[in-house]
Amino acid sequence: MDRALWRLIAWVVAMPLGCAPTGGDTVAVTQDTVYGTDRRVDVYAETDTAYQAIAEQSAVVLVSAGIVDATDPAHVRLQASTLGTDQVLCTGENFASDPDPGFCSGTLIDDDLVLTAGHCLAGNGVTPSCQGTQVVFGFYRTDPTTLHTITADDVYTCTQIVAWADGHPNGGYHDYTVFRLDRPVTAGHTPAAVYKGHAPLPAGAGIAVVGFPDGIPCKLDTGANVLQSEFDNGDDLVANTDTFSGNSGSGIYLNTTHELYGILLEGNSDYQPTAAGCQTAFVCPATGCSNGGGPANGEIIGYGRLALDALCSSAYSPRLCCGNGTCETAENAMTCPADCNGMATSTDGGSSDGSVPLGAAPHPSGCGCEIVRTDVDGGFAAVAGIAIVTLVGARRRRERG
């Protein structure tokens, strides 16, 4: 059964007859869950300084441009209600007093590129669109009662979608967006370190999530674990991250290296209604559960490699593409020796015309890696293999709205 239909059925069954939420947004069916105890913490309370820096410098909240009040460039305000009001939360629920302006989360991965989930900017479902979307850095608490001051230098506009997918090719699940900002970021905003490999994470591996659950100020969960590897035909994994609606697109990090490994896509239901007419967070065991009746027993995380592969084939980024193990058309032995394996200058071995240099590995047809070697007689042979290609810029869900 389609995941969206599972979610709708689960929500309808859970709602008391004749009751509906009052005030703010209606309850979304595209939400997540707490696993075990709620591990989410504010940035100021996070003890891992590397993750603190990621939250402060690399994480962005996606908002509609209309809610950004930049009348005072030195003190930009995000107009919003509170989580408790919009979700009709019961007394005592975590973060109920937090403002909730965001609809998705994202991560800065290059000086002007942001990675998020594909469904966050799905447009009409066929042609993605980021019209009217802005991203904001620095949306976090510095202490229990104080929000970090946001300035005009923290606010950017999405101008171009560079790579996008939101579908199920070959039985898998691709859900990612890489989009370009209106200008390169300024000092104080730093792209996250990105894992460029293709190795799947084993069950039990420790991971962290940095994002904006329900669109509130940035929260971190650094104590999550992989529950199932190679889900959705190998495109995703399942984990027990404490994530909610608005966490769609949140960065998923390797606890061993603090590298960005994937993005949060979808999961179980976030809240459950009570007889009192308010809602509480749905709690699953740390080992997972499927409270929405869907196919996974936790939160679904997309491998970041899918987005990077799409980006590198359409809009090359040296920071993100060099070192990914693939010889891209835009690379050569001088610009990216890591990917142009064995293509550097050689003084012996290989063929005399340079087409098989010392230690060279076969490269894909159309590869742009240029072969340059020093011939055995001391001369230089500039050899072939240069391809000139015009580069073209080319389930349950976590977004709010």
pLDDT in tens, 169-216: 877 889 999 999 999 999 999 999 999 988 889 999 999 999 999 999
Considering the segment(s) 3-314 as one domain, its CATH architecture is: Beta Barrel (2.40)
Residue 22 pLDDT more than 60? no
Residue 147 pLDDT more than 50? yes
Domain ranges of the chain: 3-314
pLDDT band for position 28 (50/70/90)? very low
Q: What angle do CA 288, 54, 103 make, to 5 degrees?
A: 65
Between 148 and 281, the higher pLDDT residue: 148
Residue 375 pLDDT more than 50? no
Instruction: Note whether 217 and 238 are within 8 A (CB).
Output: no
DSSP-derived secondary structure for 63-100: EEGGGEE-SSTTSBEE---BHHHHTTBPTT-TTTTSB-
Is residue 162 helix, strand or coil?
A: strand
d(CA 398, CA 249): 8
Provide the residue type at 285 as one letter: P
pLDDT in tens, 230-249: 888 888 999 999 999 899 99
Nearest-CA neighbor of 326 among 299, 357, 363?
A: 363
Instruction: Note whether 130 and 118 are within 8 A (CB).
Output: no
DSSP-derived secondary structure for 295-334: S-SSEEEEEHHHHHHHHHHHS--HHHHTTSSS--TT--TT
pLDDT band for position 346 (50/70/90)? very low
Average pLDDT over residues 82-109: 96
The whole-angstrom distance between residue 147's C-alpha and the CA centroid of its chain comes to 23
Which H helix or E strand runs over 50? helix 49-57
Contacts of 359 (CB under 8 A, 6+ apart): 341, 342, 346, 349
Predicted local distance difference test score (pLDDT) of residue 26:
28
pLDDT band for position 386 (50/70/90)? very low
Residue 343 pLDDT more than 60? no
136: tokens are 């904001």
- Token pair 């919009």 is at which residue? 86
Q: What angle do CA 83, 88, 93 make, to 5 degrees?
A: 65
